[in-house]
Amino acid sequence: MIKSKLKSRSLSQEDVFNLSELFKLMKPRVMSLVIFTCAVGLLMAPNVVPTKDAIVAILLVSIGAGAAGALNMWYESDLDALMTRTCLRPIPTGKINKNQALVFGISLSIFSVIALDYFANRLSAGLLLFTILFYVFVYTIWLKRKTPQNIVIGGASGALPPVIGWTIATNSLSIEPLTFFLIIFFWTPSHFWALSLYKSDDYKKAKVPMLPLTNGIESTKLNILIYSLFMLPIIILPYALGFVGHAFLIPSLILTVYYNILCFKLYNFKKNKFEAKIARSIFGYSILYLFLVFVLFLIDKII
């Protein structure tokens, strides 16, 4: 009897462990960003959505994003095994096999899209389906291993969650949510190219054609600076459209100018031991920057 109980307990612990590893397949950090930006898009919409419906819809969008992450890990498990940044993911470590990841990713994709269609509307479900398919087939399978522009084009998938949040509330598309899309879309290249600068050895081992490897470090630094400068007109756009007021415009411009200064500092540096340190600081600040910009959308609406 005691042995049977112990065996049952150990199986339960194993199940919990497997669930934990499956959850890691969904890229929880990316999911948290999806949840946040989707929620901002929903809250900025003119229509008020009941709290329960809003929570369910945002959760379904995050599950869809997690499904795309799982399918990305399924396809890229060979690359992940070669890179120090990703070698401890569930598939390279053998905690989850590729077939499990594939079935898990497809199942979550189908569930999230159908459920969002039921609980929200068809437009939102269609956008979620497009996001998943674009991330898996266009970015992961087609672009990632073929072109240094993978991040630029692939960034469209990461820019759609706040738009989906808006459509959940309104069941329509307009120019206002386009500003959310453009902010994330133009933010993505400088964010990931900064990462690729101080993780270039990883990408070299995996033979991923990131910009530092194909175009060189100086070209990458220039592109990081250019895309950071693109953020200035993009940040002004919501104000120019009358979507937000000075409570958004002034602090977001200050945040953007500081981002420009960091990127110019990186560009102006000749290659030395501090270059990787600055690239790392840009990568870290870019995460904070995007978070604060979307917080400012909410603050502006409250004010």
Spans of all domains in the chain = 19-172, 174-303
The answer to whether 89 and 73 have CB atoms below 8 angstroms apart is yes
Closest Cα partner for 114 from 73, 46, 160, 67? 67
Question: How many CB atoms sit inside 10 A of residue 8's CB?
Answer: 10
Helices (H), the chain: 2-25, 28-44, 51-75, 77-80, 98-119, 122-133, 150-158, 161-170, 175-198, 200-206, 211-214, 217-240, 246-268, 275-302
Residue showing tokens 């917080």: 295
Residues 6+ apart with CB under 8 A from 76: 140, 144
Give the pLDDT score at 13: 53
Residues of the chain with pLDDT under 50: 1-11
- As a whole number of angstroms, the distance between CA 121 and CA 114 comes to 10
Residues 6+ apart with CB under 8 A from 203: 83, 196, 210, 212, 213
Give the pLDDT score at 12: 52
Give the pLDDT score at 85: 87
The answer to whether 303 and 245 have CB atoms below 8 angstroms apart is yes
DSSP label of 160: S
Residues 6+ apart with CB under 8 A from 16: none
Quote the tokens at residue 191: 């964010």
The answer to whether 193 and 283 have CB atoms below 8 angstroms apart is no
Give the pLDDT score at 276: 81
Average pLDDT of the chain?
A: 91
- As a whole number of angstroms, the distance between CA 228 and CA 264 comes to 9
- Domain 19-172 is in which class? mainly alpha
